[in-house]
């Protein structure tokens, strides 16, 4: 039987690199279904593994422990190790064996720390490699076929290593002119045009990713009243679930983004998120609001049943951590750097992303 605790439908951030007593008490009471970690949570390899062990210990039901470990600038673990190549660099190298190697190494280093789900691959198409919509460097292809091939290679290897995957950002940020971290992108784009491009990719992956992250973007051809996809029954229930037949876990993108905060109240956001068909509501930064989030959905009764069942199915596939040691971490980290050299060459491999070593005010998802 799935847990009936509505806290299981929350994916929450963690305030810092250690669990303070007040946060630990709150998490024990709320029992979030999962935790997402960021740069603020990472100081050293040993510290990170202890934090994840502590999060698991306070959870009555095995929690999802997730992170955005893509490559390039969206690589949280580069704060304590080597920076993997990003999707565009792997795309341009055009070697599927190297992409599979990236997926395998990513899976192994995540399990070493105790993660069980990676918030990737990015399934957006890069119509413009220089577009200012948060996707720069993060896309595996410029066409649906190229994304299917290259993201598919990464996805298969990641899952084979025991880490669940997440396709993002459904139904596609590719044509957005705004960054949803700051404001809601709203675009005029027909259903037919999207079926030929963005939706062709998500249809392809509907049976091969374990979860889908729903983006904060309003698309006229998919929802006539211009709701964000993340709060739209037409896009989640009708398109993703019914039309595409997706049976995995469905989660919102971070509900702390400007795209949502600027337009919806907190309680309405929680309620609309569940009613739209999400199984998991993501609150990355306002961690103190998780108790209020649980209270907001607690009164929804049987409306939570499908989401709780979906969460239980997902959790039945979570793999346990592998044994940790500094030596094991250093060995996998060396593999990451070797992959970087193979993709970029020795000279470029020595360079890092401009924000290397910094915790950016806006961490991309």
Domains and CATH numbers, the chain: 16-349 (3.20.20.300)
Please, which residues bridge with residue 218 across strands? Answer: 186
Give per-residue pLDDT as tens, 348-365: 998 876 654 344 445 666
Q: How many CB atoms are closer than 10 A to CB 229? A: 26
pLDDT of residue 365: 63
Q: Whole-model pTM?
A: 0.94
- What's the CA gap between 239 and 257, in Å, rounded? 24
Strand order through the sheet with 211-214:
117-118, 64-67, 34-37, 10-13, 280-283, 249-254, 211-214, 166-170
Q: For 65, which DSSP code? A: E
- What's the CA gap between 82 and 232, in Å, rounded? 39
Q: For 63, which DSSP code? A: P
- What's the CA gap between 249 and 166, in Å, rounded? 9
Q: Which residues of the chain have pLDDT under 70?
A: 1, 177-178, 353-365
pLDDT of residue 2: 74
pLDDT of residue 167: 98
If DSSP codes are grouped into helix, strand and coil, which group holds residue 205?
helix
pLDDT of residue 177: 67
* DSSP-assigned letters across all residues of 304-359: GHHHHHHHHHHHTTPPPPPPP-HHHHHHHHHHHHHHHHHHH-HHHHT---TTTT--
pLDDT of residue 226: 85
pLDDT of residue 164: 98
Residues ≥6 apart with Cβ < 8 Å to 131:
176, 177
């Amino acid at each position: 039987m799935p847990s009936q605790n509505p806290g299981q439908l929350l994916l929450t951030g963690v305030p810092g690199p250690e669990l303070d007593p007040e946060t630990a008490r709150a998490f024990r009471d709320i029992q979030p279904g999962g935790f997402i970690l960021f740069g603020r949570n990472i100081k050293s390899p040993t510290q990170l593994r202890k934090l994840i062990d502590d999060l698991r210990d306070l959870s009555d039901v095995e929690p999802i422990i997730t992170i955005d470990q893509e490559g390039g600038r969206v690589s949280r673990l580069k704060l304590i190790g080597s920076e993997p190549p990003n999707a565009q660099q792997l795309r341009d190298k055009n070697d599927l064996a190297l992409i599979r190697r990236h997926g395998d190494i990513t899976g192994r280093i995540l399990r070493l720390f105790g993660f069980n789900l990676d918030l990737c691959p990015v399934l957006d198409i890069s119509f413009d490699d220089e577009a200012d919509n948060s996707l720069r460097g993060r896309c595996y292809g410029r066409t649906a076929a190229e994304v299917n091939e290259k993201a598919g290679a990464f996805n298969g290897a990641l899952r084979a290593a025991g880490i669940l995957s997440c396709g993002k950002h459904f139904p596609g940020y590719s044509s957005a002119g705004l960054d949803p971290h700051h404001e809601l992108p709203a675009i005029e784009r027909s259903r037919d045009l999207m079926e030929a491009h963005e939706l062709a990719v998500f249809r392809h992956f509907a049976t091969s990713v374990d979860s889908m992250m729903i983006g904060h973007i309003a698309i006229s051809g998919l929802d006539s009243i211009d709701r964000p996809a993340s709060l739209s029954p037409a896009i989640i229930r009708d398109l993703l679930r019914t039309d595409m037949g997706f049976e995995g876990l469905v989660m919102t993108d971070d509900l702390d983004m400007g795209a949502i905060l600027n337009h919806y109240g907190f309680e309405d956001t929680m309620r609309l998120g569940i009613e739209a068909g999400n199984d998991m509501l993501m609150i990355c930064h306002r961690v103190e609001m998780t108790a209020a989030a649980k209270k907001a959905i607690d009164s929804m009764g049987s409306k939570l049943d499908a989401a709780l069942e979906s969460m239980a199915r997902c959790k039945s596939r979570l793999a346990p951590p592998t044994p940790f040691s500094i030596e094991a971490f250093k060995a996998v980290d060396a593999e990451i750097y070797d992959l970087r050299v193979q993709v970029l060459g020795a000279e470029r491999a020595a360079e890092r992303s401009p924000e290397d070593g910094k915790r950016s005010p806006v961490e991309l998802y």
